Structure 1
Amino acid sequence: MSDTVSFGYEEVAPAEKTRRVGGVFTSVASRYDLMNDAMSGGMHRLWKDRFVRRVKPRAGEQILDMAGGTGDIAFRLARAGASVTVADINPAMLEVGMTRAQQRGIDGLVWSEANAETLSYPDRFFDAYTIAFGIRNVTDIPAALREANRVLRRGGRFFCLEFSTTQWPGFAEAYDAYSHRLVPRLGQMLAGDAESYRYLIESIRRFPDMPKFEGMIRDAGFVNTRVEPIMGGLVAIHSGWKI
């Protein structure tokens, strides 16, 4: 990893990014899902449904949902009878998820505070690894991808849902203007925090494009990698297999 990494449009030391990202998600945790609805017009729910259909969770499988603190993906995975470990580096996000699970009467999930770059789980333990809208906030993305590969069993599958760069003519410019100008204002109105949402938008812009990120997944040891663009690449489902 280089001496500096991106925190939005800034270049900062790796430890500084980890600290500042932690501050962002501690700040927005209680209103994270409300803001997702506001920013995407509720579309994030459809994207997550589609994502979990691609994962194809099965009863009895062990699945690690990384950066899944609020439980959105884990709740969907658990419906199929899979045993889901919800891992997140941020305890405030995990607290939100555990509260939501209790309110919905969802039992059986394992909640774990964990850093994606240095997982404590044993080698070849999980059947699937999922991460939704979390990989771009990781300080050392290649390290996190290598850890994902390590904890998967042979034949295990990796699935990542993340924002990317839409290739639809005209829409890209409109979305860029909307996100930079209006999302921080929504963050201020709904969560009392414009700066955290400014970072979240900037982090999307700094994230590798679809071909480059697919290459990073291959470099981590995955094969049969695939990218499924949604809305022209505004969002993408990345996948790969461990052999």
Structure 2
Amino acid sequence: MTDDSSSRPADSARGSAPHPPPPPGQEGRYFGFREVDPAEKSHLVHDVFTNVAAKYDLMNDVMSAGIHRLWKDSFVSMVRPRDGETLLDVAGGTGDIAFRLRSAAPAARVMVCDLTEGMVRVGRDRALDRGDLHGVEWTVGNAEKLPFRSRSVDAYTIAFGLRNVTDIDAALKEARRVLKPGGRLFILEFSHVVIPLMREAYDAYSFNLLPTLGQLVAGDRDSYQYLVESIRRFPEQQALCQRIEAAGLARARYRNLTGGIAAIHSAWRV
């Protein structure tokens, strides 16, 4: 499930930039590039996603020119959900992944857990618009302390959410806790570009244009400045594999998408 770049550590997304990913376990000290009290980070993240909830899906289309939809399709095709399974999508409040899981496996139990009530409301509204009143279960909760029983989930997915948690390692351990033996973990996240010329162009685009688009489309420059910075603070591909396995999961792998702008990580609970 890896491409030809996944067997070696990815280069930093900004080369010699002054804001590399922090040491493992120290992500909670940073909100983007700004140092914060770890006890406050989840509140700051909650505020960001409360602010952007109404325009979140529109901004995803604008920022990625719609490519995020192809990434999500590839992600769900790797999950291969099956009827009768229990599927948990974490940080998936607007339902993009949950609706795809349900379409692929109509008789599966699909649950969403998101930190932000505003995002969950958007997802529920979208479900109503689709006429899908009972197909997805919606819960407000923290990825670091999931409100679900141990060994109760066949597949755990999280898309564009792991980099926002205060304690990545705690979230990975929670993923292992709720997975049944033989259960699968899948992470879709912005990552570190592995093609030098693409990396330079991506940096110029994301730092110079994305916050401006956030201001024009969503009326919120600061939240999108944070989102750009949080990508650069996220662990590189191989480093995340190591942390997934340190959390007790097995056979961690990754597959780069669009040169490493995003990546899908996967592992098993044995």
* Smaller-chain TM-score bracket: over 0.9
The question of 1:238 aligning with 2:262 is answered no
Query: 3-state DSSP class of the match of 2:83?
Result: coil
Conserved in 2, the CA contact under 8 Å of 1:124 and 1:150?
yes
2:72 to 41, 48, 69: 48
Counterpart of 1:202, as a letter, is: E
Is the 1:29–1:93 contact (alpha carbons within 8 Å) kept by the matching residues of 2? yes
Report 1:94-105 matches (<5 A).
94-105=120-131
Alignment length (residue pairs): 243
Pick one of 153, 162, 165 that aligns with 2:189: 162
Distance 1:214 1:30 in 2: 33
**Residue type matched to 2:47 in 1?**
G
1:28-177 equivalences in 2 (<5 Å)? 28-79=52-103, 80-81=105-106, 82-106=108-132, 107-177=134-204
* Distance in 1 of aligned mates of 2:219 and 2:257: 30
Q: Displacement of 1:2 after TM fit?
A: 5.0
How far apart are 1:6 and its partner, in Å? 1.3
Confirm whether residue 13 of structure 1 aligns to residue 37 of structure 2: yes
Percent identity over the alignment is 56
Q: Evaluate the alpha carbon distance shift between residue 4 and residue 48 of structure 1 in structure 2; reply closer, same or farther with a 3 A threshold.
A: closer
User: Which stretch of the first structure deviates more once superposed, 1-10 or 179-188?
Assistant: 1-10
How far the C-alpha of 1:3 sits from its partner, in A, is 9.7
Moved more, 123-132 or 102-111: 102-111
Hey, what's the Cα distance between the residues in 2 that align with 1:5 and 1:78?
Answer: 36
Distance in 1 (alpha carbons) for counterparts of 2:207 and 2:52 = 18
**Aligned 1:171-190 pairs, distance under 5 A:** 171-190=198-217
Counterpart residue identity of residue 73, structure 1:
I
Structure 2 spans left out of the alignment, 5+ residues: 1-24
Output one character per residue of 1:76-95: Cα deviation in whole Å (capped at 9) or x when no partner: 00111221111001000000
Q: Which has the higher contact order (CA 8 A, sep 6+)?
A: 2
User: How far apart in 1 are the matches of 2:240 and 2:34?
Assistant: 20
Distance in 2 of aligned mates of 1:39 and 1:15: 30
Aligned residues: CA RMSD = 1.1
2:185 match: secondary structure = strand
Moved more, 47-56 or 4-13: 4-13
After TM superposition, the runs of 4+ consecutive aligned structure 1 residues lying more than 4 A away are 1-4
Q: Evaluate the alpha carbon distance shift between residue 3 and residue 223 of structure 1 in structure 2; reply closer, same or farther with a 3 A threshold.
A: closer
- Deviation, 1:108, is 2.1
Deviates more, 1:5-14 or 1:46-55: 5-14
Whole-angstrom CA distance in 2 between matches of 1:188 and 1:38:
12
CA distance in 1, matches of 2:241, 2:232: 17
Q: Is the 8 A contact 2:27 2:167 kept in 1?
A: no
| Conserved? CA contact 1:3–1:13, under 8 Å | no
Instruction: List runs of 5+ in structure 1 lacking aligned partners.
Output: none
Taking the aligned partners of 1:207 and 1:187, their CA distance within structure 2 comes to 21
1:99 counterpart letter in structure 2? D
TM normalised by structure 2 equals: 0.88
* DSSP-derived class of the 1:170 partner: helix
Helix, strand or coil for the counterpart of 1:228? strand
TM-score normalised by length of structure 1: 0.98
